[in-house]
Amino acid sequence: MNLEQKVYKKLLDVPKGKITTYGDLAKAVGLKNGQRIIGKIMNKNPYPIIIPCHRVVMSTGKIGGYAYGKFIKIKILGDEGIEVKNDNITNFDKRLFRF
């Protein structure tokens, strides 16, 4: 299994209504300081609805990027019950999923 496959598989553990960070996802697959690598992998996600890359956010609580634009990411997160205000996750700590 290559790194992208490991990342996508691990991301499937994050349940609907929860989020993880780029850094936490990197650590979960054995990468130290791998946030940027995770971002690049998320940007290439071939199955964005099946593999929920919209659930990956910045460690500051900001939503971060999304290949289809931040408004789409905010909409999908909202559909899952995650509120976003001014590009920040509301109740960030309560929404955070830990591997």
40 is catalytic: no
The answer to whether the CB of 74 falls within 8 A of the CB of 43 is: no
Residue type, 36: R
Three-state SS for 14-81 is CCCCCEEEHHHHHHHCCCCCCHHHHHHHHHCCCCCCCCCHHHEECCCCECCCCCCCHHHHHHHHHHCC
Q: CA 61, 25, 23: angle at the middle one, nearest 5?
A: 55
From the list 53, 56, 74, 77, the catalytic residue is 53
Kindly list the catalytic residues: 53
